[in-house]
Amino acid sequence: MTAMVKAEGVHKSFGAAHILKGIDLEVAPREVFCLIGPSGSGKSTFLRCINHLEQINAGRLYVDGDLVGYRQKGDRLYELKDSEVALQRRDIGMVFQRFNLFPHMTALENVMEAPIQVKGEARAVARARAERLLDRVGLSDKAKNYPSQLSGGQQQRVAIARALAMEPKLMLFDEPTSALDPELVGDVLDVMRGLAEDGMTMIVVTHEMGFAREVGDALVFMDDGVVVESGHPRDVLTNPQHDRTKSFLSKVL
């Protein structure tokens, strides 16, 4: 079975700062793959490399068997054109810490926008799906509201619906609850649990250890740009093998 995501020796630097130092990992289809670690460990950067928002400096990244951002001829890599990268990105949904909704559009319009603009979908088709997705994230009564009229948790659920509107085969979540008030976190995690139950492949950068333990199929602890420890979430969280993992978990659990 082809891995949904495969990283081979992935390196990424920003100037003199070496952020990713040879990441090797695989994410299976339908898997919920959680990434944990301290701030600055490279988790979010790695997520951004998967959909080529950041270019890697060495190594290979594949999504569903396709090389991300490049084509290979012989031993050489050639960067894809922007239009080709955009085509790859259509299959990858991403939800950020900050919701990045269009402030001048209603919740419904935010969810409809990408299928119409990117896929050239008919408005009626996009609207029907958007209504269905808003219902799925528990916000059918907020369809006509603008982002400024929604709580942070509601905005994040609209952002998830917007990512799902492109019918991706992979969803990336970059600390989707970290900007939310604690009482709003549960609603967002419930939506993500539902996606997991439906078999969506998800990579989740998170500080929500309870979610990782309950919903995750695999967990990686990253620190200083490397994978320190990996395994089943319950095993890593209850019986970490590496001193650095033990130290980190002692502060967050």
> What are 39-84's pLDDT values in tens digits?
999 999 999 999 999 999 999 999 999 999 998 888 888 889 988 8
Mean pLDDT confidence for 16-43: 96
Identify whether the C-beta of residue 138 lies closer than 8 Å to the C-beta of residue 191: yes
State yes or no: pLDDT of 86 exceeds 90.
no
User: For the CA atoms of the chain, what is the radius of gyration?
Assistant: 18
Instruction: Round to whole Å and give the CA distance between 148 and 82.
Output: 32
- pLDDT tens across 164-199, in order? 999 999 999 999 998 888 888 999 999 999 999 999
Instruction: Round to whole Å and give the CA distance between 99 and 238.
Output: 32
pLDDT of residue 139: 96
State yes or no: pLDDT of 14 exceeds 90.
yes
Q: Which of 122, 190, 202 is nearest to 164 (CA)?
A: 202
pLDDT of residue 77: 85
Q: Which of 213, 207, 205, 204 is nearest to 238 (CA)?
A: 213
Identify whether the C-beta of residue 195 lies closer than 8 Å to the C-beta of residue 202: yes
Phi and psi at 230, nearest 5°, equal -145, 160
Mean pLDDT confidence for 134-153: 96
Mean pLDDT confidence for 228-236: 96
Please report, for residues 11, 43, 253, the alpha-carbon distance to residue 80 in angstroms, rounded to integers and kept in the order given: 19, 24, 43
Q: Which of 45, 49, 44 is nearest to 7 (CA)?
A: 49
Q: Which of 112, 195, 100, 113 is nearest to 152 (CA)?
A: 100
pLDDT of residue 252: 86
Instruction: Round to whole Å and give the CA distance between 36 and 205.
Output: 6
Phi/psi zone of residue 42: left (φ > 0), alpha (ψ -120 to 50 degrees), beta? left
Mean pLDDT confidence for 201-217: 95
Mean pLDDT confidence for 223-241: 96
State yes or no: pLDDT of 246 exceeds 90.
yes
**Extended strands (E) in the chain:** 5-14, 17-27, 32-36, 58-63, 66-67, 70-73, 76-79, 92-95, 170-174, 201-205, 218-223, 226-231
User: Where residue 221 falls among pLDDT bands split at 50, 70, 90?
Assistant: very high
Please report, for residues 34, 90, 224, 230, the alpha-carbon distance to residue 10 in angstroms, rounded to integers and kept in the order given: 18, 22, 14, 17
